[in-house]
A and B are shown apart, each in its own frame.
Chain A
Amino acid sequence: MIEILTALEDSGFSMMVKESSTAYVAVLAFHTIGLAFLVGISGAIAMRILGAARSMPLEPMQDFFPLMYTGLLINVVTGVVLFCLYPTNYATDLAFYIKLGAIVVAVVSLRKLSALLFESGADADAAAETKRAKVLAITLLVVWLIATTAGRVTAYTVPTKLATAGAVAVFMTLALVIGYAVGRQMGWIGSSKQSA
């Protein structure tokens, strides 16, 4: 296995991209743009299900799915290119497998959410009020956070990866608790279905 990865790492394609810093950084930048489309739009749908912009109808959001899947496609392609550059590094990095696992769970959750909202025959806004929709929305946001964090720390050493994972978990927990308390106080978070 390691021979194959080493051969890939030394292949003409891999060397070409690595030696052309323009190509390399363009691939990196497109990986971030694809991420913004996929995670940004699906994240907005999840947040809507969990209570943000409550008056916004969900049915029309179906029209943004092609763009989300375009983002996914961009990231699979740029991701494969980036993997080809340093395959031995990625293949031996636990964070990389955590990232891939999180992405698989995210895409499956998004597919299930899409089926529940748009293909169940029921009204999308009513379907969004079900417990199943909320569970899927929370799952989606959590695994996107894991995937983004795991991807971002790839370049760091193991102790820094662990410290950062801990810091992200603590920060997000505090942000949610404080955000919820402040939201309640300010009346931004209503008790039930009032328009936000």
Chain B
Amino acid sequence: MFGLPETFLQLGFVEDFIAAYRWVWPLSEVLHFIGLILLVGIVTIVDLRLLGVAKRMPVAPLQKLLPWALLGFTLCVVTGLLFVTGLWANVKTHPLEAIRYDYFLQLKLAFIGLAGINLLAYYQTGMARAMEGLGAGDDAPPRAKVVAGASLILWIGVVYWGRLIPWGL
């Protein structure tokens, strides 16, 4: 009955991969954790600096850490897609049902979306480039603090809702 993918969210080859090797799912969980550690760890450092912690840190060299946060985010997206598209192989729930009924998953996706909009605002308004000029001891302007505070709360929220997803299925 479910030999063919019901929706683009459910992928037979991912299910087969998960079913074929017992380590696929837990390895992906470990990589999802490594990704969140990289992402949230680095985002926390940068956001707190803009909020006034470790003000003696110049912002430009600190932002050199951000590609590693992006790598962490990529790891989380790839493994997250594996969890969704191959969900049936692990918990016998269809991905579409999970998206429809798991409100923790919905909250997590909404928080990621908001964090994305927040980041877009940070780069589109030229704030990111302006922050490059913040040297040791310089205070970030209030609007940058709002963006940094929102980012911090949203990403911690993403981890919180994410950890609850299995209980919403």
Which residues of A line the B interface, CB within 8 A?
21, 25, 28-29, 32-33, 35-37, 39-41, 43-44, 47-48, 52-57, 59-64, 67, 144-145, 148-149, 152-153, 156, 159-160, 163-164, 166-168, 171, 196
A28-B163, A40-B44 are known contacts. Are A149 and B62 too (CB-CB below 8 A)?
no
Give the total of B residues in contact with A, Cβ under 8 Å: 41
Which residues of the other chain, A, contact B160 by a CB distance below 8 angstroms?
A: 29, 32-33
Assess whether A25 is in contact with B26, with CB atoms less than 8 Å apart: no
CB closest residue in chain B, given A47: B68
Shortest Cβ distance from B102 into chain A, in angstroms?
Answer: 13
Which residues of the other chain, B, contact A145 by a CB distance below 8 angstroms?
A: 34
Checking B23, B163, B164 against A164 with a beta-carbon cut-off of 8 angstroms, the contacting residue is B23
- Those of B1-43 within 8 Å (CB) of chain A: 21-24, 26-27, 29-31, 33-34, 36-42
Assembly CA distance A35 to B34 (angstroms):
10
CB closest residue in chain B, given A166: B23
Beyond contacts A29-B159, A60-B56: 10 other A-B pairs, Cβ-Cβ < 8 A, are: A32-B162, A33-B156, A41-B45, A54-B64, A57-B136, A148-B30, A152-B33, A160-B26, A163-B21, A196-B64
Chain B 36-66, CB within 8 Å of chain A: the 1/0 string?
Answer: 1111111011001000011111101110110
Assess whether A149 is in contact with B30, with CB atoms less than 8 Å apart: yes
Assess whether A63 is in contact with B54, with CB atoms less than 8 Å apart: yes
A163-B21, A167-B27 are known contacts. Are A60 and B57 too (CB-CB below 8 A)?
yes
CB closest residue in chain A, given B57: A60
A153-B26, A166-B23 are known contacts. Are A43 and B167 too (CB-CB below 8 A)?
no
Which residues of B line the A interface, CB within 8 A?
21-24, 26-27, 29-31, 33-34, 36-42, 44-45, 48, 53-58, 60-62, 64-65, 68, 136, 156, 159-160, 162-164, 167
A36-B41, A40-B44, A59-B56 are known contacts. Are A163 and B64 too (CB-CB below 8 A)?
no
Assembly CA distance A47 to B123 (angstroms):
25
Shortest Cβ distance from B118 into chain A, in angstroms?
Answer: 18
Which residues of the other chain, B, contact A48 by a CB distance below 8 angstroms?
A: 65
Assembly CA distance A88 to B68 (angstroms):
39
